[in-house]
Amino acid sequence: MHESIEPLRLRRAPVVRIYDVGETTVLVGPDGDAHELAGPSAQLTRAVLAFALAPRTRAEIIAHVEALSGAPLTDAAVVDELLGLLRRLEILIPATPPRRRATGKRPRLLLGITGAIASALTPGLVGLLQQRGFEVRIVATEAALRFVQAAALEALVHHPVRHDLWARDPALPVPHINLAAWADVVLIAPASATTIARLAAGECSTLVSAVALSTRAPVLVAPSMNLDMFAAPVLQRNLAQLTADGIHVIHPGTGRELAEAPDERVATLGPMPPHPAIVDLVEAALRIAVTRRRGAEGPPRDDAAWDAIYRTHADDELAWQRDALDDDMLAVLAREAPAGASVLDLGTGLGVGAIAAAARGCRVVATDVSEAALARAEARAGDAAIVWLRDDIAESRLRGRFEVILDRGCLHLLTAEQRPAYAAAVARLSAPGGVLVLKTHDPSEGASRSTTPHDAAAIERLLGDAFVLESDAPSTLPGPHEAPAARLFVLRRRPG
Ligand SMILES: Cc1cc2nc3c(=O)[nH]c(=O)nc-3n(C[C@H](O)[C@H](O)[C@H](O)COP(=O)(O)O)c2cc1C
């Protein structure tokens, strides 16, 4: 939806396969196909690639080419053809907004390495973790340091690589406790069969296993070994034990086990997955842990607390946030909200419902108790004609009548005292014959979400005087990491 509002921006991919020789530039695609460009085409390619180090729109690229040549382009097709080729070869890719971290603090990752041959590749993993925003410290088993030099890792992290439980270091008087407390997340990658056995048995004779067993942070373990070792029943038993104990066990990839003889390496299950996949999993586990912690704390109960959440949390840290309105709510909008219809989006948050309604040509008012949410929603909406208002539906000062009222997860956040005021407000604001499209958590979620899930009976008790409940369908309230069970209610305003 945003692509239709904002022009697509392209940027040079982080990894490209290109070489220049003389007047020629050779581009190689991910499938290995080579494209040779010579003379002016090569020059144009080099100029576009240099310019696209920052995200650029097509119009900006054309303007840049014109500025370089000192004359307007007679035929933009040449540039379009080149952009098409560069996109096909994945040399130019759509620019995604950089992931913002809500706080300035970088997550602290303690990396444990063990005597699996994939430890030889640790510098690459450390570099990638740092690139993705982690502050990294390293602990190693003695066997790990046969595969990789501590000095190389220390040059990357600017901290000693620790392997000794008994090291005398005033900065870390009891290393396993100090490091366990320091970490926001612990990753053991690669994890040898021996270290896995230690973790399963609660055996803390190495610094790696002692830290992993004493931390309160999430622990991820990436087994890495050859297929026979991985398939051994004892190893599988140990992994099942780790999973049961709450350790995150990363599935191995199918890769070439490096410890096999070079001529005998065939792809088998067992080695740990490539580094980017491991970092994706660490980020996901951290986000889920943070969301859970917040869920346990419960939703904020006042406007200032909501404002604080919207000021300090990135989009993907808001458990309910999605970039597009849920399909089932969109389907009701398509049916009930023709262009020109008046739509009220209650508790709009980052404005997803309001933006969807505006995209249909509706006249939209969007409200929230948080000014910070409204400011972010307005920025996301670009030119969409939406009226953004700070309003609390339980003490609403809104006027007017709306043909459609959208509520995605607002009612279920209200207290028992606030709900009658909500019912009176939506009845007053709904045009006769208009619909209230209402999504709440499903009762099967219990109180685990710190919301008040609703079923049809509860909805009818609350809203039945003013509305007819037309439909009650099972649904979900998808967020960035989870899609808890929900119910979608469609209620029609009784006349009068
Ligand atoms: C050349 C070589 C490669 C090895 N590769 C692996 C491996 O990939 N995975 C594994 O679990 N063990 C591997 N081992 C065996 C471990 O190094 C050995 O079990 C060691 O005791 C692990 O101890 P640690 O868990 O304390 O690091 C390898 C051993 C050698 C000699």
User: Given this model, what pLDDT does residue 225 score?
Assistant: 92
What ligand 1 atom has the least distance to the C-alpha of 118?
Answer: 8
Is residue 259 lining ligand 1, measured as CB closer than 6 Å?
yes
Rounded to the nearest whole angstrom, what is the distance from the C-alpha of residue 119 to the centroid of ligand 1? 10
Report whether pLDDT(6) > 70.
no
Is the domain of 267 the same as that of 388?
A: no
Is there a domain that residue 100 lies in?
no
For atom 18 of ligand 1, the residue with the nearest CA is 115
Rounded to the nearest whole angstrom, what is the distance from the C-alpha of residue 116 to the centroid of ligand 1? 4
Name the least confident of 123-127, 291-295, 341-345, 356-360: 291-295
What ligand 1 atom has the least distance to the C-alpha of 192?
Answer: 11
User: Given this model, what pLDDT does residue 95 score?
Assistant: 86
Round to whole Å and give the CA distance between 64 and 62.
5
Find out whether 290 and 279 touch, Cβ atoms under 8 Å: no
User: Given this model, what pLDDT does residue 311 score?
Assistant: 84
Is the domain of 211 the same as that of 324?
A: no
- Ligand 1 pocket test, pick from 139, 192, 209 with the greatest ligand atom count within 8 Å of Cβ, gives 192
CATH number of the domain to which 395 belongs: 3.40.50.150
Question: Which are the contacts of 174, defined by CB distance < 8 A and separation ≥ 6?
Answer: none
Is there a domain that residue 468 lies in?
yes
Rounded to the nearest whole angstrom, what is the distance from the C-alpha of residue 182 to the centroid of ligand 1? 27
- Residue where one domain finishes, among candidates 94, 122, 139: 94
Average pLDDT of span 468-490: 93
Domains identified in the chain, total number:
3
Q: 371 — phi, psi (to 5°)?
A: -65, -40
CATH number of the domain to which 22 belongs: 3.90.930.70
Is there a domain that residue 296 lies in?
no
Is there a domain that residue 10 lies in?
yes
Question: Which are the contacts of 204, defined by CB distance < 8 A and separation ≥ 6?
Answer: 176, 198, 210, 213, 214
Is there a domain that residue 423 lies in?
yes
Is residue 195 lining ligand 1, measured as CB closer than 6 Å?
yes
Beta bridge partners of 380: none
Q: Say what percent of the chain tops pLDDT 90.
A: 72
3-state secondary structure string across 156-214: HHCCCCECCCCCCCCCCCCHHHHHHHHCCEEEEEEECHHHHHHHHHCCCCCHHHHHHHH
Radius of gyration of the chain measured on its C-alpha atoms: 28
Rounded to the nearest whole angstrom, what is the distance from the C-alpha of residue 195 to the centroid of ligand 1? 9
Name the least confident of 20-29, 53-62, 304-313: 304-313
Is the domain of 187 the same as that of 69?
A: no
User: Given this model, what pLDDT does residue 102 score?
Assistant: 42
- Ligand 1 pocket test, pick from 165, 194, 228 with the greatest ligand atom count within 8 Å of Cβ, gives 194
pLDDT band, residue 494 (cuts 50/70/90): very high
CATH number of the domain to which 235 belongs: 3.40.50.1950
For atom 20 of ligand 1, the residue with the nearest CA is 115
Rounded to the nearest whole angstrom, what is the distance from the C-alpha of residue 166 to the centroid of ligand 1? 23
Beta bridge partners of 220: 187, 248
Is there a domain that residue 298 lies in?
no
- Ligand 1 pocket test, pick from 111, 113, 117, 203 with the greatest ligand atom count within 8 Å of Cβ, gives 117
Q: 447 — phi, psi (to 5°)?
A: -95, 10
Residue pLDDT, tens place only, 200-235 = 999 999 999 999 999 989 999 999 998 889 999 999
Q: Which domain holds residue 388?
A: 304-493
Is there a domain that residue 335 lies in?
yes
pLDDT band, residue 100 (cuts 50/70/90): very low
Which carries the bigger pLDDT value, residue 329 or residue 321? 329
